[in-house]
Structure 1
């Protein structure tokens, strides 16, 4: 790790023209988490070739295809999953970030029907004692670790402020409307994940619980519904030094940024999250193939805005659309070569990423 940080500092002093194209593309690859379609891989699999070629940071796994819930994508049983994650790690030069959404309740990629233990939703967990919540999350975290998952896109720290909210409140993904309770139970989940060598990702900054619409489907404006107390769980958990990663929301708030949604906003990711709330860790985008982004921005603009906004890791789940790692790396590469994104900006992200304790 010390050698990597020294190398990064040396590279940061160089101009883009002084870094080989191959090295620059590998540095860019460290900023990508992507989805792929297979439930088993070999050295000939395209995702493996991309991991090796671009030094990809990680992958995201799903049980089913988004548009065909009867078709297996990456996860079908504990035995199959353990074999897949072992295969993926064996081909990566560095520990690979293997991620899922395993919140509990209806948001679970490791499902009871496929032989995994079922867990309660955040709403139901919030009714448990703190001791019972810890026991439940310890079992969930152990299950992830046992099956080779080292990153969980959880917990949700959105506040249940809007009863009509379908994507958070309706799916019981929130611990409630009280900032202290949300912070407390999310912290219990995060502690369990960390104890089992699984990186946690709190979401969706700056708060999705007051929204009326679903960013999977299109534009989401929270200007009239958002409350500044939605920032409180982030502030509390950052101050408690529990946060590994924070995921952005594709929501729009005209008083936080007059033009851009949160994921693409420098004002929200850098000025608010980093400077005002004091967050120094990794920021990861929500899936950049969601309609809230793709209906309004080109791939090039999405990448340009998000990286310059301060996002460190770009998530392309390849469930709602399809973008190859080659396409993504080449797009970022040319933006750097044209001077639209600086090498220093890339290196800032890579330095934060390399400090993640990926095991």
Structure 2
């Protein structure tokens, strides 16, 4: 796909809408008022070991609200990343409130921490966690794969805009698994749910690549999954143990879509927990140095973040203790431990901290992975910081800049039409860049203050916005 992009299609698509979620590089962006762009390496140097370890975990949190267990993961164990789980039909604005609440709970208020990666499974069809007002209903990947390249790109771009508006910065998609048409009905994890873009490596590589590029164009991190493939197994690793792929080799064409995703700069690759008889028959892929490091990192040249498939609830990994699962994955060369089960988190984190404290080689492994996660965050615009705002009720340059950081929109330091459009999308009102009574009422509802009938920004509302932004730093 990296060589398949048609310049004309991209040029037309890039002019489609204001760039919420983009990380622009304009001259105005270079030095907005009060904004500091942290570097990943500098931030890592200021982190404690516990904070570094926290960056290596992505914990489950209900898409409909923040549970006490997720709250504890963020505040007690310094976990730096969340996956929104379950199903929500509450819409963009309600989801943004959940995402913002998670960001407030994270340790990013301290000088040595970073904003959360907030992720979800937004593939389409049977696997679309976030729905409701403001979210398009996405068809299955198999249907998406029948669309023209330009249609798929534009659609993925729109879906990414919706995610960013909801405070979600990583999509655990696209699925790059290849399932033959004859085997699809028997392939429980992928084909049964039509999660594949097509039935040949070339189609999956091309269509999955356009989905990836559309997401990336809006500043949403993409996750190519499930390496090296789940398209050749019968059973689902989430619900079965002993799942084995008996046909895939390290040279199989089933790996080609992942090569495309890597060439197209997917920031994340997810590794499955199935066994691969012809690559490493002795370890599940997520625990295999041969698959994670020798194949994905070294042979395929992936330099981004390697994330595990679920290591919390998946039936495939229940034979290992939670602590062992985390250690095995990191020892294999993985970077980001995903667990949908918050009860597994304390033992996982404690085991990683303990080993890092006693083993210098493993400590170096932790530092290496923490840096990769922080570099991914930096590329997504998540290491930006602003000084606390003075609550003065004025939409001054500092407040406008802080609002633009929060919105991940172009930073100009002024209350311009693009900023108004981005904010309108977040608060769930008409998106036209004109601030009138409807926008004002929606913002007051979003901030949790009473409606006062004002038709434009007033000091009371701006003061509430300033307090809100101070809580999001």
Partner of 1:353 in structure 2? 373
Conserved in 1, the CA contact under 8 Å of 2:323 and 2:349? Answer: no
Alignment pair present for 1:252 and 2:272: no
Match of 1:181 among 197, 203, 225: 203
Report matched runs for 1:189-208 at 5 Å.
189-208=211-230
Conserved in 2, the CA contact under 8 Å of 1:304 and 1:340? Answer: no
Report matched runs for 1:1-359 at 5 Å.
3-6=39-42, 8=44, 23-37=48-62, 39-41=64-66, 45-64=68-87, 76-92=90-106, 93=108, 94-112=114-132, 116-161=135-180, 162-163=183-184, 164-218=186-240, 219-224=242-247, 228-238=252-262, 240-289=263-312, 290-294=314-318, 296-318=319-341, 322-323=342-343, 325-339=345-359, 342-356=362-376, 357-358=379-380, 359=382
Partner of 1:68 in structure 2? none
Partner of 2:13 in structure 1? none
CA distance in 2, matches of 1:28, 1:171: 35
Q: Relative to 1, partners in 2 of residues 1:33 and 1:261: Cα closer, same or farther, differing over 3 Å?
A: same
Superposed displacement of residue 96, structure 1: 0.9
5+ residue gaps in structure 1?
12-21, 65-73
Structure 1 counterpart SS, 2:48: helix
Larger radius of gyration: 2
Superposition misfits of 4+ residues, deviation over 6 angstroms: none
Q: Relative to 1, partners in 2 of residues 1:260 and 1:352: Cα closer, same or farther, differing over 3 Å?
A: same
Superposed displacement of residue 41, structure 1: 4.4
Superposed displacement of residue 337, structure 1: 3.2
Superposed displacement of residue 46, structure 1: 4.9
Superposed displacement of residue 76, structure 1: 3.4
Could you say what the CA RMSD is over the residues aligned between the two structures, in angstroms?
2.4
Conserved in 1, the CA contact under 8 Å of 2:271 and 2:285? Answer: yes
CA distance in 2, matches of 1:75, 1:46: 22
When the two structures are superposed, what TM-score results if normalisation uses the length of structure 1? 0.85
5+ residue gaps in structure 2?
1-36, 109-113, 383-473
Conserved in 1, the CA contact under 8 Å of 2:190 and 2:230? Answer: yes
CA distance in 2, matches of 1:264, 1:256: 13
